[in-house]
Amino acid sequence: MMRIPANFRYLGISLGPCLFSFASNYDSSKAFVKSLGCFLGLMNYAQLSGPNHKLLFSDHLRNRSVDEAREVFDCIPNPNVYLYSMMISGYARNRRLDDALKLFDEMPVRDTVSWNSMMKGCLECGDLSKAKEIFDEMPRRNIVSWTTMVHGLMLSGEVEMAELLFREMPTRDVAAWNSMIHGYFSNGRVEDAINLFEVMPCRNVISWTSVIGGLDQNGKSDEALFLFQKMIGSGFKPTSTTLVCALTASANLLALNLGVKIHGQIVKLGFCFDEFLSASLITFYANCKQVENSCKVFKEKLHKNVAVWTALVTGFSLNGKPENALEVFRDMMKLGVLPNQSSFTSALNASCGLEALDRGKEIHSAAIKLGLGTDVFVGNSLVVMYSKCGNISDGIAMFMRTDQKNIVSWNSAIMGCAQHGFGMSTLTLFSQMMRRGIEPDEITFTGLLSACSHSGMLQKGRGFFKFFSEAESFEVKREHYACMVDVLGRCGRLEEAEDLVRNMPFEANSMVWLALLGACRNHCNLDAAERAAKKIFDLEPNCSAAYVLLSNIYASANRWSDVSRIRMTMKHNSIVKQPGSSWVTLKGFRHEFLSGDRSHPLSGKIYQKLDWLGVKLKEFGYVPDQKFALHDVEAEQKEEMLSYHSERLAIAFFLVSTPEGSIIRVMKNLRVCGDCHCAIKLIAKIVGREIILRDSSRFHHFRNGICSCWDYW
């Protein structure tokens, strides 16, 4: 940092030309540029004259241009304690603790405020011990010093120390009580917080807001909303922060009516243009499945705030509108709103929903450009995106590249490998994870069982189930039983699977029975199938998957009267089979092969296939070079597609296959066709990157998804 020599500090504008000579005395051009900047600073300082330099100074600080602020600061003759404190806080807010401490040391005089600012600065930069040092060293403490320290201790999780200090404080104002309440909540000590709130001598709107926000963040949104209403009832006027907390709680509870009322209050109180409130409103409406209203809120003004944009991206994505989500994300970047890790997470999620590898890659490159390529949140989303889009090797590469991997990183990689049928890789990942001392959680467990099921690892599956059932800190859930049933079922241990279901410590849900029914279908066990189906229909009379599975079982047993009986029942109860669907980007893989190695022996074959596909799709009224959702292809057309010879059948299989169980049947048909096993292997290897099956849920994914085919090669 360059400081202007002392004699130049008093020059002001009247000596403007001298400044040029001052600048030209500097040899290096860098120094010239710097001094020119400083000259401009001086110009501003002089032009604005009087106290206005403070305005310029605080403008820079507000804009987080801390270096510019420092240049103005350096031009101010004899800066007072107040300006020093401002500059110190400015450095701290920009995480430049060293500069802040240096300036603090240089201060000619220090008052309590400057000591407090320095202490606060240390806390903001996460240096608790330095803050403690300053707290001990400062000559006089006021109530603010104590409160700052209490708050800092609480945020570092040193609750006991904070309590001690709070008791030792000579006097306690409402801010001190509030910081204790907030501190308890952020350490998950809900009871203590509430007790304090009840005994505190005097409450203000911040006290109420802290409790409302704290309850909501600790999973007690209902109590939060109750207190919000109580607060309004006792005549307190909510601030925008209060309304944000109440809205967030309403969003979590899906309390549509209350949320809409709060929206009314926001308009009435004139908080319409508060960015925090806009973001909360967007999330609230999106959670309540009213994403059109989120859009309305968004369009009320032009937003520059990342969180507002991200809220809308997330909203669209979670409401099954990934196209819109990605459009918003693109607009956001076009407008120069820099996406952060949350925005990337939401956008990558949306591309998972579309299963659009090209879009995902686009977002990935944007993340790299912004320096977020190895961020743990972004990295985890990338792992999921690549593996969901069929590209597990890139998914694993992303995992390796992620900084500071957490449990979600490991789980995403494990899930990805498991779903792609890489059983051994899954096990290796798991042992690496254990060796690094990372505690597995229930999602890890699901991933492991899924791997065992897809790779036919019966003994491993049993071992994991035993291990996790015996682990104390662990709750084995219905999902895990469903997975285990799947493991046993796929390995033909139908009896054992049924025993497991009947001896579960809690009532089995339809998901568990459905896993059993699926197993029965694969092993043509009609008796067990009928038992399982009966259970499912008791629990969920309109379960379309169960009807379809059962009718397929009857069909394989040549019991056609039963098949038509089930079809009739379905029709009668207007149960519609959820269509399976797949996305095809013709352009995507055409491009891939055009830009790739054209001399490769496969290029020609792929070209033929693409041409055939293009012709077929045109016949069905689709335009090439677009994304096709083939779930709406008519049944006869599907059959027509399937009637082509084996290689074409293989492609058709990818296009029209339905997740709910038909894959294995189609596989059987393919085998009957002769050479298709080889053909499908070939095509899947090449085309699998771009054609991805969509599944109704994560859970069905590994049970019925494309991964099933991997078992066969």
Partner DNA sequence: ACCAAGTTTA
The residue range among 304-312, 460-468, 647-655, 697-705 that interacts with DNA, by the rule CB under 7 A, is: 304-312
**Residues 460-479 interacting with DNA (rule: CB under 7 A):** none
Applying CB under 7 A, among 66, 100, 251, 550 the residue interacting with DNA is 251
- Name the residue among 482, 414, 399 with its Cα closest to residue 444: 414
* Rounded least distance, CB 594 to DNA, Å: 32
* Rounded least distance, CB 637 to DNA, Å: 35
> What is the secondary structure of 278-304 as a DSSP string?
HHHHHHHHHHTT-HHHHHHHHHTS---
Q: Which is nearer to DNA, 275 or 358 (CB)?
A: 275
Applying CB under 7 A, among 65, 240, 265, 669 the residue interacting with DNA is 240
Q: Which two tokens stand for residue 376?
A: 């743990």
* Rounded least distance, CB 1 to DNA, Å: 22
* Rounded least distance, CB 378 to DNA, Å: 9
d(Cα 288, Cα 341) in Å, to the nearest integer? 24
Provide the terminal-to-terminal Cα distance of the chain, rounded to the nearest Å. Answer: 64
Applying CB under 7 A, among 9, 95, 110, 142 the residue interacting with DNA is 142
Applying CB under 7 A, among 351, 412, 453, 708 the residue interacting with DNA is 412
Q: Which is nearer to DNA, 194 or 501 (CB)?
A: 194
- Name the residue among 278, 340, 368 with its Cα closest to residue 315: 278
Applying CB under 7 A, among 174, 333, 370, 458 the residue interacting with DNA is 174
**Residues 193-232 interacting with DNA (rule: CB under 7 A):** 204-207, 209-210, 213, 217
* Rounded least distance, CB 154 to DNA, Å: 9
**Residues 64-83 interacting with DNA (rule: CB under 7 A):** 81-82
Q: Which is nearer to DNA, 213 or 661 (CB)?
A: 213
Contact 423, 455 (CB under 8 A): yes
* Rounded least distance, CB 81 to DNA, Å: 6
Tell me if residue 713 falls in helix, strand or coil.
coil
The residue range among 24-32, 405-413, 605-613, 642-650 that interacts with DNA, by the rule CB under 7 A, is: 405-413
Backbone angles phi, psi at 585, to 5 degrees: -110, 100
**Residues 256-285 interacting with DNA (rule: CB under 7 A):** 274-277, 279-280, 283
Applying CB under 7 A, among 44, 218, 221, 242 the residue interacting with DNA is 242
Q: Which is nearer to DNA, 260 or 570 (CB)?
A: 260
Say how many residues touch DNA, by CB under 7 A. Answer: 71
* Rounded least distance, CB 42 to DNA, Å: 24
Quick check: 649 binds DNA (CB under 7 A)?
no
Tell whether the torsion through CA atoms of 271, 273, 274 and 280 is positive or negative. positive
Beta bridge partners of 627: 585
* Rounded least distance, CB 274 to DNA, Å: 5
Spacing of C-alpha 575 from chain mean position: 34
Applying CB under 7 A, among 44, 148, 425, 658 the residue interacting with DNA is 148
Applying CB under 7 A, among 65, 342, 522, 544 the residue interacting with DNA is 342
**Residues 525-584 interacting with DNA (rule: CB under 7 A):** none
Spacing of C-alpha 360 from chain mean position: 14
Q: Which is nearer to DNA, 381 or 455 (CB)?
A: 381
* Rounded least distance, CB 701 to DNA, Å: 13
Vertex 224: Cα angle to 220 and 228 (nearest 5) = 175
The residue range among 28-36, 335-343, 533-541, 702-710 that interacts with DNA, by the rule CB under 7 A, is: 335-343
Applying CB under 7 A, among 182, 263, 616, 694 the residue interacting with DNA is 182
Q: Which two tokens stand for residue 584?
A: 């095809």
Contact 160, 166 (CB under 8 A): no
Quick check: 85 binds DNA (CB under 7 A)?
yes
The residue range among 22-30, 234-242, 420-428, 607-615 that interacts with DNA, by the rule CB under 7 A, is: 234-242
**Residues 343-402 interacting with DNA (rule: CB under 7 A):** 343, 345-346, 349, 376-377, 380-381, 384
d(Cα 77, Cα 90) in Å, to the nearest integer? 19
* Rounded least distance, CB 308 to DNA, Å: 6
Quick check: 293 binds DNA (CB under 7 A)?
no
d(Cα 593, Cα 609) in Å, to the nearest integer? 12
Quick check: 319 binds DNA (CB under 7 A)?
no
Q: Which is nearer to DNA, 67 or 111 (CB)?
A: 111
Q: How crowded is residue 67: how many other Cβ atoms within 10 Å of its Cβ?
A: 14
* Rounded least distance, CB 253 to DNA, Å: 13
- Name the residue among 332, 365, 360, 334 with its Cα closest to residue 347: 360
Backbone angles phi, psi at 581, to 5 degrees: -150, 155
How much is the CA Rg of the chain, to the nearest whole Å?
32
Q: Which is nearer to DNA, 415 or 488 (CB)?
A: 415
- Name the residue among 133, 202, 196, 127 with its Cα closest to residue 167: 196
Applying CB under 7 A, among 35, 44, 94, 178 the residue interacting with DNA is 178
Applying CB under 7 A, among 408, 529, 563, 670 the residue interacting with DNA is 408
Applying CB under 7 A, among 307, 501, 549, 649 the residue interacting with DNA is 307
Quick check: 294 binds DNA (CB under 7 A)?
no
Tell me if residue 492 falls in helix, strand or coil.
coil
Spatial neighbors of 120 by CB under 8 A, at least 6 apart, are 89, 92, 131, 148, 152
Tell whether the torsion through CA atoms of 87, 90, 92 and 96 is positive or negative. negative
Spacing of C-alpha 428 from chain mean position: 26
Q: Which is nearer to DNA, 150 or 680 (CB)?
A: 150
Applying CB under 7 A, among 66, 134, 196, 311 the residue interacting with DNA is 311
Q: Which is nearer to DNA, 376 or 557 (CB)?
A: 376
Which residue matches tokens 């109590």?
223
Residue 8 DSSP one-character state: G
Quick check: 58 binds DNA (CB under 7 A)?
no
Quick check: 169 binds DNA (CB under 7 A)?
no
Q: Which is nearer to DNA, 316 or 710 (CB)?
A: 316
Contact 174, 203 (CB under 8 A): yes
Contact 45, 76 (CB under 8 A): yes
Spatial neighbors of 246 by CB under 8 A, at least 6 apart, are 212, 224, 225, 228, 238, 258, 262
- Name the residue among 332, 341, 327 with its Cα closest to residue 303: 332
Quick check: 241 binds DNA (CB under 7 A)?
yes
Kindly provide the b/e burial profile for residues 318-336, where b requires at least 16 CB atoms within 10 angstroms of the residue's own CB. bbebbbbbbebbbebbeee
Applying CB under 7 A, among 294, 409, 425, 552 the residue interacting with DNA is 409
The residue range among 18-26, 171-179, 420-428, 612-620 that interacts with DNA, by the rule CB under 7 A, is: 171-179
Quick check: 250 binds DNA (CB under 7 A)?
no
**Residues 108-127 interacting with DNA (rule: CB under 7 A):** 111-114, 116-117, 120
* Rounded least distance, CB 380 to DNA, Å: 4
* Rounded least distance, CB 709 to DNA, Å: 24
Q: Measured between alpha carbons, how far is residue 58 from residues 40, 66, 123, 380, 414 in Å?
A: 16, 10, 22, 39, 50
Beta bridge partners of 585: 627
d(Cα 614, Cα 619) in Å, to the nearest integer? 9
Applying CB under 7 A, among 35, 94, 147, 453 the residue interacting with DNA is 147
d(Cα 53, Cα 82) in Å, to the nearest integer? 13
Which residue matches tokens 């360059």?
2
Contact 292, 276 (CB under 8 A): no
